[in-house]
Structures are given as structure tokens and as C-alpha cells.
Structure 1
Amino acid sequence: MQDDRRRKRRKRGSQMIEAVAVGTIIIVIAMALIDLIVMVLANGVNDGAAKNAARAAASQSSLAKAVEAAQNSLKENKKGNAGFITELSLKSLDYVPKQTVSATTKMHVSLPIPVPGIGASYTFLAQATEPVVAH
């Protein structure tokens, strides 16, 4: 009789330990997935910002106007960020009159739930090229 009680107690104890171990692993995986989702979304925002900056610059007739237009388009993108984007800037703008314009944007992202060993912030670069349409 006592042996049966001991076995049941041991079985319940080992089940509890297994549940805690598995629960901990699931929580860490969920945290990493949330960070991954934030990184994917931020990368998409950065790609769109580079495309918008290149498009805005392509409609200008000089380098100075192109840089100003690209920076203004980035200001519009900054207004709608989710709070994880700590910086969005124009890294470079290559303007070849009557040919193409290439915009490179730089974005810093702070992760909402930093997972140990993965890092708490990342920097993304995006580049987009558009034909110049200004005459």
C-alpha cells in the first residue's frame, strides 16, 4: 500500500517537473517568435521607406531637391511607426540626372522582448532604384 502511494507521488512530481520544463521552453520560443515578427515587419517598413524615398527623389530635377524630397518622404514614414523603430534615416542618395536615382535607408529597431543570446536591437539597410522622371 505504501509503495503505491510513493509511486503515485513520484509520478505526480516528475510530471510537474516536466510541465515546468516544457512550459519554460515554450515561453522562450514564443518570445523569440514575437521578436522575429517585429523584425520581419520592420524590414518591410524599411523596404517601403526606401522605395518611397527613391520614388520621391526621382520626380525632382536636381540633387538638392531630390535629397529634400527623399527626407520628407521618410518623415511621413516615421509618423506611422509602431514604436519599435528607433531611427529611420536616409543613408545615401545616388542621383544620376535623366537616368536613375538610388536611395538607401537605415533603420534601427529595438526588440520588444529581448531574448538572451539573440540581441536587443538590430540595424536594417534597404536600397531602391527608380528611373528619374523629372525633366
Structure 2
Amino acid sequence: MKKVTYLIAILAITYGCSSFSSFKTHPVQKKENILLTKDSVEYELLIIDSGFESWFAARNTIATVHSDIYYQNWNRIYVVEWNQLYMQGRPFIENYIEYDPAENYGLEINYKLYYYFQFVEEKNRISIINR
């Protein structure tokens, strides 16, 4: 009787361990992981200067008049000059702009930022860059 009890116990343990190990060995498919962890980055341009939105709406042209590269190139120049004026403590330049030329901000952001610089130049009658 003891032998039968030991045999049943050993079989139960073996069966329990084998079903547990087969449960552990099911791999998670990589395709599912990629879909779950895929992340997109969205940027938002926050302009707190009063009057810009109405000015922008009145002068708003089609963004695709120029390419995204066109706006990126101008924004690089404007941001460098803007930040230098900010560091010098110039009036009308009240904040530092964090703009990474290596980032792809998209046409909409680059377009609106470019026109913000135009707005500041027109509103304050200053020239941020010499053209």
C-alpha cells in the first residue's frame, strides 16, 4: 500500500511539474510586442503671445506653399538668433526656444513657428535676422 501511495505521489508531482514547465515555455510572439510597444511622438507649439492667433488666421496661407525643409531651414536660423537675443536680455524676446534641428517636428509645427517669427518682427517692428 505504501508503494502505491508513493507511486501515485511521484506520478502526481511529475505530471504537475511537466504541465507547469510546458506552460512556461510558450514564447510570446515578437509581432505582438512590437505592436504593443510602438509609440509615436507628437509635438505641440504653444504660443502665449496675445494677438498671434488672429494675426495668423488673417495671414494664413496654405502650408504647402513651401516645403517642410524650407520652414526647417528658416526656423534653424531664427531660433539661433532668437536665443542669442534672449541671452542678451533684449526686449520683446521673453523666452528661450528649445528647437532641435535633428527632430522632425512636421510641416504644421515648422510652418506655424516660422510665421510666429514673422509676427514678432511685424508686431514689434524689429528684425530678428538680417535678410
Please say whether Structure 1 and Structure 2 have the same fold, judged by a TM-score greater than 0.5.
Answer: no
Q: TM-score, normalised by structure 2?
A: 0.34
* More helix per residue: 2
Q: Which structure has the larger Rg over C-alpha atoms?
A: 2
Larger relative strand fraction: 1
